[in-house]
Amino acid sequence: MGWIRAYAWPTDPSLSAQLALVAYRMGPTQDAASRLVSTENTPLATRLPGSAGSVYTVAYSPDGHTLATGTVYENTVRLWDVTDPSDPVSLGRPLPVERSVDSVLSVAFSPDGHTLAVAGHSGDHSGGPAGNGIVDLWDVTSPSRPASLGRPVSIDISSVISVAFSPDGHTLAAGSADNTVRLLNVTDPTRTAPLGRPLTGPTSSVFSVAFSPDGHTLAAGNADGAVDLWSLPPTLVAGAGGNVASVAFSPDGHTLAAGNQNGTVSLWNTADPDHPTPLGRPLNGPAQPVDSVAFSPDGRTLAAGDSGGTVSLWNTTGPGHPTRLGQPLTGPDGAVFSVVFSPDGHTLAAAGDGESGRISLWNVTDPSHPTSSGGIGAKAAKFVQTLAFSPDGRTLAAGGDSSNGAVGLWRVSDSYTFVRVGQPLMPPGTSAWVAFSPDGHTLAATTDDGVAGLWNLNVDAAIRRICESSAGALSHQQWKRHIRQLPYKPPCPGG
């Protein structure tokens, strides 16, 4: 890139992308490739434009080709064709959700992808008392032509906060602000009907609901620090104290871990979801509230990050008799909101949410003797909210990377060292949650200003995208301005 004047690098994204591609053609170095990926994957290239409200909920269709987004404090639900993640396409106008709906809090696709459930709050625009919670169903068999499946189901509560379909698609669970979960029969989504009385037990709002893979158990996460499990009859799984900030199942689904705000981790045996049983007393060790928990891929190690910036490890080979693995690991600064194991289980990463925070890394090949693998220092990452490894374990992404809300990417070498990949990706807002697609080629990030951003991390795809969307931007005049020493040779076929 020596021929291109860095101080004159243009702000126009198309032109900048073209120049980055020229630099790569001139010398395909790692720096050039990094700039190519970073330049191509700008928010403008893959941004899903939203509205002024915050996007509280997103959901992929089961085939991964459609993305639904819902906006809080508005009645806006948008559908996107993400078959080509580098070129997401809006599928027409937002769904014509009923005008009375003033806040969308949860969206979910049915397992067959033919039905979309929209839940939230319906306001009373006549000046009367507050409105109700609603569940609205849409036929999205043809996502470009969604069709309403009847009037929204009105629930006499303030809000429906979360929804989830059962694995067979016949039942919809709706977690509500009135401390209940309602089950709806959606076998025929045009004739939605309640399934019995609301499930009770929670003593505060139900923020999240999920069915077990076999559909026999329903879990609900609540604001009061408890996790409820239902089959028949409903079974309450109480936390050890305070809010339950994080829950995780072991890979075999037989053990449930919950991070408690009193600095403990509770374990339950959920092999028989009809009768979940506590696995001894809550685990002690963290000195501060536990904000994140995660099992290793083999289920033999449990990690817990706390608000004091430490990470505790336990051997859970025998979950009925977990044993502490040494002293808490230190390194992150501030509350550890995310702990994550690499897919091979050899690396543990923890993110600190502090002004001088960092991402700490440990080699946990032998979890009884974890060794520090260094980390990503404060200048590279602070205020990190979430971490995610790519499916192949070769890339680590951090959401909320630094105070400007960037998304940082690091390449993992064979020696488990982490090397920054180009410049941070810049969403149009503060990033909070990041996730890789199953093939690892696409990174998604949500922001606090109503946008879900997608980046295609494949260099060849970046080249194709640049040539398809910005061909012609590098004219003779622009070439002479930025690349004076070489004859005009546009990087894309046909100029």
Give the per-residue SS3 of the chain: CCCCCHHHCCCCHHHHHHHHHHHHHHCCCHHHHHHHHHHHCCHHHHEECCCCCCEEEEEECCCCCEEEEEECCCCCEEEEECCCCCCCEECCCCCCCCCCEEEEEEEEECCCCCEEEEEEEECCCCCCCCCEEEEEEEECCCCCCCEECCCCEEECCCCEEEEEECCCCCEEEEEECCCCEEEEECCCHHHCEECCCCECCCCCCEEEEEECCCCCCEEEEECCCCEEEECCCEEEECCCCCCEEEEEECCCCCEEEEEECCCCEEEEECCCCCCCEECCCCECCCCCCEEEEEECCCCCEEEEEECCCEEEEEECCCCCCCEECCCCEECCCCEEEEEEECCCCCEEEEEEECCCCCEEEEECCCCCCCEEEEEECCCCCCCCCEEEECCCCCEEEEEEECCCCEEEEEEECCCCCEEECCCCECCCCCEEEEEECCCCCEEEEEECCCCEEEEECCHHHHHHHHHHHHCCCCCHHHHHHHCCCCCCCCCCCCC
Q: Give me the pLDDT at residue 5, please.
A: 53
Question: Model pTM greater than 0.85?
Answer: no
Indicate the residue type of 58: V
Q: Give me the pLDDT at residue 345, please.
A: 94
Q: Give me the pLDDT at residue 21, please.
A: 81
Give the Cβ contact number of residue 216 at 10 Å.
14
- Which pLDDT tens digits describe the chain residue by residue (495 residues)? 455 554 455 566 767 777 878 888 888 887 777 777 776 555 444 567 666 678 889 999 999 999 999 988 877 899 999 898 767 888 988 887 777 778 889 999 999 999 999 998 887 533 333 568 889 999 999 998 999 998 888 877 678 999 999 888 878 999 998 888 998 878 778 878 777 788 887 888 899 999 988 788 899 998 888 888 887 444 556 556 557 888 999 999 999 999 988 888 989 898 887 677 788 888 988 889 999 999 999 999 999 999 988 999 999 998 889 999 989 998 787 889 899 999 999 999 998 776 655 788 899 999 999 998 877 764 555 678 889 999 999 889 888 755 556 788 888 876 667 777 777 777 666 656 788 988 888 888 877 666 777 888 877 877 887 887 776 778 888 888 888 788 888 888 766
Task: Say how far apart CA 37 and CA 458 lie, in whole Å.
Answer: 7
| Two tokens, residue 286 | 């963290």
